[in-house]
Each structure stands twice: as structure tokens, then as C-alpha cells.
Amino acid sequence: MKENLFEIGAKFGDDWSTNNKQKRAEKTLHETKTPEKHKLHVAKEKRRGKTVTIVKPFFLEKEALQSLLKTLKKRLGTGGTVKEDMLEFQGEVKEKLHEVLTEMGYGFKK
């Protein structure tokens, strides 16, 4: 007898699994760089009528990036967060941010 070609279901022997929510593999960490070797880019975006200032890419460990964020938030007097390899700040603080990061030794794209 012929096998039904439109059979519903999968054969679990064919590398199928019931768990479709497996976590993706962590991204490979890129090398960390000293502040002088960073070439940062500053941009601003509008989100729900508010301005957000974004600085990226940072080549630092997660803990170092968190401590840098904490220092910058205090110096700028604004809120912010870490997302992947970038920092986001509330408000339009582009000039002051550029000034503080340059003072700390970070380089920027021209």
C-alpha cells in the first residue's frame, strides 16, 4: 500500500524536536578595545515624540559598558540604557555627550 504523501505530523527521527523555543546561541564576543581605538558614531532618533541620543559601537565588556553608562548618566544628568553594543540616552545631549566622551579619550568618526 502507498504511503500517504500528505500525512500530518513529523517523524521525530528526522532531526525534529518538540521544543521549538530553543535559545539561540550567544553571539561571539568581539575583542575589547581601548578608548583611543574606538570610532564612535552619535545619532538622534524620535521615539513617540521624544528624542533619544544613541552612541555606538562600543567594544567593551558588558560590565565595563554598564559602569561607563553610569558615569555618563551622572555627568549628563539624564537617563539612559545599554542595548547590545550601544548606549541610549534620553533627550538631545549630542554635543555634551561628544564633549564628555572626548574628554574620556574616546574617538569619533569624522
Which residue, among 59, 62, 71, 1, has the nearest Cα to 33 in the 3D structure?
59
pTM of model > 0.75: no
For residue 76, give the C-alpha cell: 549628563
Set of cell numbers at residue 52:
533619544
| Domain spans in the chain, listed from the N-terminal domain onward | 35-108
- Do 52 and 88 contact (CB within 8 A), yes or no? yes
35-108 is classed in which CATH architecture? Answer: 2-Layer Sandwich (3.30)
Query: Residue 107 is which amino acid?
Result: G
pLDDT tens track for 24-57: 555 545 678 888 888 999 999 999 999 999 999 9
- pLDDT per residue as tens digits for the range 58-71: 998 999 999 999 99
